Amino acid sequence: MNMRDEDILKAAEDWRKEGRGVALATVIETWGSAPRPTGSNLVIDNEGNFLGSVSGGCVEGAVVTEAIDVIDSGKPKVLEFGVADETAWKVGLSCGGTIRVYVEKVN
């Protein structure tokens, strides 16, 4: 789902005010063919609800799973998905690109 950055960040703020655990995932680097540009965001709550997009397809499912771990631990992570990764086909990056995604807990 493509949304404006302001909408995604507003959702993160609203979800925190509701008492949900929240993480923000941001595309920090791309190489080659990538579905979303650097700076794209995905906000995730502790139940796996999300808004925005960092890639699409199975990559987002993997980011949501990792984000729930980040919410629980409070420790940020940098995730990398791409053709050099043996799971590239599984996560939907068979197009020849690589993306790096920073995931952090929203306090």
Q: Kindly provide the b/e burial profile for residues 20-38, where b requires at least 16 CB atoms within 10 angstroms of the residue's own CB.
A: bbbbbbbbbebeeebbbee
Per-residue confidence in pLDDT tens, the chain, 107 aa? 456 778 999 999 999 999 999 999 999 999 877 888 999 999 999 999 999 999 877 789 999 999 999 999 999 999 998 765 455 555 554 556 789 999 999 99
Q: What is the pLDDT of residue 1?
A: 46
User: Nearest to residue 42, comparing CAs of 54, 28, 30, 29?
Assistant: 54
Residue 11 has which token pair? 């959702």
Range of the domain at 38: 5-106
Domain count across the chain: 1
Question: Could you give phi then psi for residue 104, rounded to 5 degrees?
Answer: -135, 150
Q: What is the pTM of this model?
A: 0.85
